[in-house]
Amino acid sequence: MTAESGQVRRRCFLAAEAILPRGFSALAATEAEQILRPSRKVSAIAEYRELAGFNSTLKTLMKCTRIIGTAIVVICLAGTAFAKTATGSTDKSHSLSSADKAFIKEAAKGGMMEVAMGRQAAQNASNAEVKKFGNRMVTDHSKANDELKAIAAEEKVDLPAEKEPGKWKSDKEYMSMMVKDHEKDLTAFEKEAKEGSDPDLKHFADKTAAVVRKHLQMAKEIDGKLK
């Protein structure tokens, strides 16, 4: 190694040590030496610029590494949050008690029958009030049935199939049956509203109980007028 080459290498090492992170000085000095050999006639200004450019590239790579690392952390945290959310959603489907599930099935069965018999009354009843009551049953219970179906789907509860009502007998027979059915339904809905384990189902039971209570009052008044 000539004296001039030794000086070049020393200048490279000192410059690299001043501007690069610890541990990179020797490597940078070696690379810089190849650039700054006398045979290439690079000036001191060019020497500084080459080293500065190398350092800038290195810093850019390090910055990209930090950005990528941050992105990985964000993805991991998001994945964890999603997993917790999915787990919480799955757990909710198993939160219903056996009594809640039984209520859903019975309420769905009764609601579908009220709609079917309501249509039958609207078509076959001879009394105008009975016809009107039948149409009211179709409207109100169809709405309640849709809400209950949504809850059952969320909670993964299978509902019974819809059945056709028996043969129409008379206005009096229908209204007497409506009184008995709504008395039974009201008791079941009020109990679920008080003792149910699921907030959504309790809210549905409480809201629907008010509708059933109104139906019962109407049914008693109409039934009292029929002979």
Provide the mean pLDDT of the chain. 77
Express each pLDDT in 176-189 by its tens digit. Answer: 999 999 999 999 99
Express each pLDDT in 5-44 by its tens digit. Answer: 555 455 544 554 555 555 544 555 455 455 445 444 445 4
Taking alpha carbons only, the member of 94, 133, 109 closest to residue 188 is: 109
This prediction's pTM = 0.59
Express each pLDDT in 65-105 by its tens digit. Answer: 455 445 444 444 555 555 445 444 444 445 789 999 999 99
Could you write out the three-class secondary structure of the chain?
A: CCHHHHHHHHHHHHHHHHHCCCCCHHHHHHHHHHHCCHHHCCCHHHHHHHHHHHHHHHHHHHHHHHHHHHHHHHHHHHHHHHHHHHHHHHHHCCCCCHHHHHHHHHHHHHHHHHHHHHHHHHHHCCCHHHHHHHHHHHHHHHHHHHHHHHHHHHCCCCCCCCCCCCCCCCHHHHHHHHHHHHHHHHHHHHHHHHHCCCHHHHHHHHHHHHHHHHHHHHHHHHHHHCC
CA atoms lying within 13 Å on the CB side of residue 206 = 10
To the nearest whole percent, how much of the chain has pLDDT over 70? 59
Express each pLDDT in 192-202 by its tens digit. Answer: 999 999 999 99
Whether residue 173 has pLDDT greater than 90: yes
